[in-house]
Structure 1
Amino acid sequence: MAVSARRTARAGSTGRAAAAKTRGAPKGEEAGAPASSFSKDEDLQAYRDMLLIRRFEEKAGQLYGMGLIGGFCHLYIGQEAVVVGMQMASREGDEVITGYRDHGHMLACGMDPRGVMAELTGRRGGYSKGKGGSMHMFSKEKAFYGGHGIVGAQIAIGTGLGLANWYREDGKVALAYCGDGAANQGQVYESFNMAELWKLPVVYVIENNKYAMGTAVTRASAQTDFSKRGVSFNIPGEQVDGMDVRAVREAGQRAIDFARAGNGPYILEMQTYRYRGHSMSDPAKYRSKDEVAKMREERDPIEMVRKRLLETHGMDEDELKKIDAKVREIVNDASEFASHDPEPDPSELWTDILLEVRA
């Protein structure tokens, strides 16, 4: 059935969605407002998942410094609560697509740390057989449709994932991530328009880490409230404390439920912060060391969960040390595998390549 025919067949549901939009989008909390509490099990899950990303990225930074990782390498340290909270809100089958700061998203989706690290070091056991590197990994099995090196391109592709879900009526929602810098790209707004026009099940997650590629948001964006970027397309949005995994999960659940119900896309601006530079080659001289230290001391997403586990859930330091040790064991194993796995055979240069031959 052609898309136009499918749109006609679903005119009734689209009308209901439009009526729902008229009644108003679900009301979210202001960024920084208290989030709903987590059970002990939920906090433990969030702690383990965020700690795995943190330790993995720290190890990746070490391997980069040793020359085992080449090219670009963009670390996610400081932003872990965003993807972990969103994954806690999603359900199996929902797709994830993001930009080049993507290792955390892969791990949160359940991809094997060995395969991710092996791809970083260009080994045949990597998710792209060692040919993609840091920016280009995919896992159809885990519904992860890639990190993408072209700024903003993933938003258009993520909208396409939403279109496929809408067409198939499979109940899945696409989570399309981008940074505050990418939010200024033209294709992002073309995607917004199409998604709202067809009421596509997409949640756009703008990870506002304040500096894009090194320029402060206040110097690069005329509208610094990214939750309003969909206003001209009638797309609802909200700002979220992206350093609090509880706030992320709560807002993520609202947005995903809204999209899954046939109401169309939703925008979440995650106000977060990265501790490292834009990439490993960035000395980050555009911000002060005091600013970074203050965020680490007062707003670190992992430390906030750790504090709750100790003070609210009655765990002791030894229990948390065991979790950290187990996570380090997983990461060290991935590092060892990635350091000793063979490089791709030269014949791999000719696989997975589409050639166009013209007369």
Structure 2
Amino acid sequence: MDAQARQDMYRMMVLIRTFEEAILREYHADKQPVFDIGAGAIPGEMHLSAGQEPVAAGVCAHLTTDDAVTASHRPHHLAIAHGMDMRKMTAEIFGRVDGLGRGRGGHMHLFDPDTHFSCSGIIAEGYPPAVGQALAFRRRGTDRIAVAVTGEGAANQGGFHESLNLASLWKLPVVFVVEDNDWGISVPRSASTCVTSNAVRAAGYDMPGERVEENSVEAVHEAAGRAVARARAGEGPSLIEVHTLRLWGHFEGDAQAYRTDLEGVPGRDPIPTYEQQLRREGVIGDDDVRAARQDAEQRVEDAIAFARSSAEPTPESATEYVFA
């Protein structure tokens, strides 16, 4: 990987984190002094992806907006890395009329035809649609692919196993990605999953399986490169599991009393870890870091301002854009 590609992945990770920090700020701004999940400019649940940036940056570096991506209820990092319009995305998170779904979907239901991106609050829901997209791409005779990303808890769902089986049977151009952040809400994977790595499950569906440790963006990039190349060449699906990190709670307001690893979590933050690596190797310096942060802050604050300036849907329009 050349220096430019490494710098680009670093900048993408910084952009994602800056966005999540801004959403965190805006989400909690009107929910004090007593936390009320229904109050404020962003009501409802909020699942943020801080710590999982390497998955999005490493995988999406191989994709174009002609490729499809499906994500889970924790989708912002993947949406940003796949090139979604940040203004429209933020407006949707705020529930405003200029959002992707005109404020109807919120942050767990981002749907963007321009980048072929979708996500859902239903566990493993994105896997079957990705199989369908991959089938459509192949029937059209293109080299476009679908990427389906979900959490490790979803690997125990029927939709996960049915999708892997059909994709392999039909040799479809789809890459399955599992984000293993150790916790399915408040349940450790050791209490819910019979295998220590979901990558071994690939063998049951006659496809390559690979697990990436240490939350390394470059290791993710390498593994995804192999899987994407295989899919584009018509050789069928692959499964990648990334051992990543959930820096914050499952959702905002989660006290995380169940977590035994909280004390050591900050030291595992992938962004300063990668920044230090790139500094040691002379790939970036102070000016690069400063420019990455300034650019990210400018883009994110512009998106926040756009969302706040957008109108809220009127009660009279509640049934519009919902039914076909």
Do both proteins adopt the same fold according to a TM-score greater than 0.5, normalized to the shorter chain? yes
Over residues 148-174 of structure 1, what are the superposed CA-to-partner deviations in whole Å (9 max), with x where a residue is unaligned? 111111111111111111222211110
Partner of 2:156: 184
Instruction: Tell whether 2:48 aligns with 1:75.
Output: yes
Partner of 1:306: 275
Partner of 2:60: 87
SS in 1 for 2:147: strand
What displacement does 1:71 show? 1.0
What displacement does 1:120 show? 1.0
Partner of 1:349: 318
In structure 1, distance between residues paired with 2:107 and 2:171: 33
Query: 106, 117, 120: which one pairs with 2:90?
Result: 117
Partner of 1:134: 107
In structure 2, distance between residues paired with 1:229 and 1:348: 46
Partner of 1:57: 20
Decide which structure has the larger Cα Rg and report it. Answer: 1
SS in 2 for 1:172: coil
Partner of 2:266: 296
Number of residue pairs matched by the alignment: 314
- Equivalent residue runs for 1:206-221 within 5 Å: 206-221=178-193
In structure 2, distance between residues paired with 1:223 and 1:317: 43
Does the 8 Å contact 1:196/1:265 carry over to 2?
yes
What displacement does 1:81 show? 0.6
5+ residue gaps, structure 2, are: 30-39
In structure 1, distance between residues paired with 2:295 and 2:144: 33
Partner of 2:250: 278
- Equivalent residue runs for 1:151-162 within 5 Å: 151-162=123-134
TM-score (norm 1): 0.83
What displacement does 1:309 show? 3.3
Partner of 2:35: none
In structure 1, distance between residues paired with 2:284 and 2:7: 10
In structure 2, distance between residues paired with 1:188 and 1:73: 24
What displacement does 1:72 show? 1.4
Partner of 1:27: none
Does the 8 Å contact 1:239/1:268 carry over to 2?
yes
Over residues 209-242 of structure 1, what are the superposed CA-to-partner deviations in whole Å (9 max), with x where a residue is unaligned? 1101111001111112100122222122010136
Partner of 2:196: 224
Over residues 44-87 of structure 1, what are the superposed CA-to-partner deviations in whole Å (9 max), with x where a residue is unaligned? 21111111110111111111112221111110000001011001
Does the 8 Å contact 2:65/2:114 carry over to 1?
no
Structure whose residues are more often helix by fraction: 1
SS in 2 for 1:239: strand
In structure 1, distance between residues paired with 2:213 and 2:306: 36
5+ residue gaps, structure 1, are: 1-37
Partner of 2:33: none
User: In the alignment, residue 78 of structure 2 is paired with which amino acid?
Assistant: H
In structure 1, distance between residues paired with 2:204 and 2:14: 39
Does the 8 Å contact 2:247/2:269 carry over to 1?
no
In structure 2, distance between residues paired with 1:76 and 1:242: 17
Question: Aligned residues: percent identity?
Answer: 35
In structure 1, distance between residues paired with 2:53 and 2:283: 24
* CA-atom RMSD in angstroms: 1.7
Over residues 296-349 of structure 1, what are the superposed CA-to-partner deviations in whole Å (9 max), with x where a residue is unaligned? 32x322113311332222643244123212211211222222223211234432
Partner of 2:36: none
Over residues 223-280 of structure 1, what are the superposed CA-to-partner deviations in whole Å (9 max), with x where a residue is unaligned? 1210012222212201013621111110001011112222211100111011111111
Residues 242 and 98 from structure 1, CA distance in 2 versus in 1: closer, same or farther, beyond 3 angstroms? farther
In structure 2, distance between residues paired with 1:179 and 1:44: 27
Compare 76-85 and 327-336 and name the one that shifted more. Answer: 327-336
TM-score (norm 2): 0.92
Does the 8 Å contact 1:89/1:250 carry over to 2?
no
